[in-house]
Amino acid sequence: MPDCRPPLASPSRPSHALPPGACDAHCHVFGPAAVFPYAEGRSYTPPDAPYEAMAALHARLGVERAVLVQANCHGADHGALLDALARSGGRYRGVALLGAHATGEEVARLHAAGVRAARFNFVPHLGGAPDPAVFDHVVKLIAPLGWHLCLHLDGAMLPGLLPRLTALPLPFVIDHMGRLKAADGLASPAMRAMLALAEVPQAWVKVSGIDRIASGRRPYAEGLPFVRALAEALPDRCLWGTDWPHPNVAGDMPDDGELVDLLFQACPDAALRRRILVDNPARLYGFEPPRER
C-alpha cells in the first residue's frame, strides 16, 4: 500500500505563460506498479504517478520539456523512466540511479535512450552518503559520455563535500536548493555555501523544492528570497523543476500551477527566467532550440 500522498488531482493553471521550450528539470514517474513494480527494500511506496499523468500536468502548465529523475522507490530498474523517455518523442531527458554493478554497456544503453546524468542521494532518509568507491565507479563510467551528477544533499553537508566535488571531471547539480531551511535565513552557513557555488564553474543548482525549504504551508512565500538569490548568483547554471508528484511531502501538497507563478515572483526579469527555464536546461541536457509559438 502507498505510504505517501498523491499529487493534487486538479492543480491550478498558472497565471503566467511559460516561454517556448520551458523545461521542468526535476520530476518523476512512479509505476504504474502493475507494469513497473517498485523495488524491494524501498524506503517509501508512492501511489502510481505514470507517464500519462505527468504529460497531462505538463500540458496544463505549458511545459514542453522535462528531466525525469529516477526515483529511489524504483531502485536500479529504469523501466518506467525509459518508457516515459521513449513516449516523449525526444522532449524528455533522464537521470539514472547507478550502483556498484553498473556497466559501460548499461550506461551506453541509457545514453541512447536519453539519459544524461546519474543521481546520488546523501540524505539520511534515502540511505545516506554513497560508498566512495561506488561514487568513483559511476563517475568513471559516465564522464566519457558528457553526463553530469545530480546530488540530493543537505546544504550543511556542502562545505565538507566541496573539495571532492570540485575535483570531479564533470559538472554536478545540487537538487532542491540543497534542502535549505528558510527559517535559518539567507545568512545561514548552508545558504552561504550554496551561493559560493557561483565561483565553482562546474556547479549547477535546481531551484526546485521550494515547499521543502519553506514552512510546508502554501504559498511558500518565505522560500522566494532563496530562489531569487540563487537565480541571481548562478544565472547561467540554474534550473527549475516542479518535483512532481512531490514524494514524501510533509506539509501542504504543492499546487504545480502556483509553483510556476512563484518562479515569476522570484524572477520578475523575463531574460533571467528564459535562461532558467529554456537556455540552461537546453545546454546541460542537449535539447534542440525551441520552436517559436
Q: What is the CATH number of domain 23-285?
A: 3.20.20.140
pTM of the model: 0.96
Each residue of 55-83: pLDDT tens digit? 999 999 999 999 999 999 999 999 999 99
Sorted by where each begins, the domain ranges of the chain are 23-285
Each residue of 225-266: pLDDT tens digit? 999 999 999 999 999 999 999 999 989 999 999 999 999 999
For the annotated catalytic residues, the residue numbers are 243
Quickly list DSSP for the chain.
---SPPPPSSPPPPSSPPPTT-EEEEE--B--TTTSPPPTT-S--PPPB-HHHHHHHHHHHT--EEEEEPPGGGTT--HHHHHHHHHTTTSEEEEE---TT--HHHHHHHHHHTEEEEEEE-SGGGT-SPPHHHHHHHHHHHGGGT-EEEEE--GGGHHHHHHHHHT-SS-EEEGGGGG--GGG-TTSHHHHHHHGGGG-TTEEEE---HHHHS-SSTT-GGGHHHHHHHHHHSTTSEE----TT-TT--SSPPPHHHHHHHHHHH---HHHHHIIIIIHHHHHHTPPPPPP-
- At 221 the pLDDT is 95
- At 129 the pLDDT is 82
- For the chain, residues with pLDDT lower than 70 are 124-127, 291-293
Percentage of the chain beyond pLDDT 70 is 97
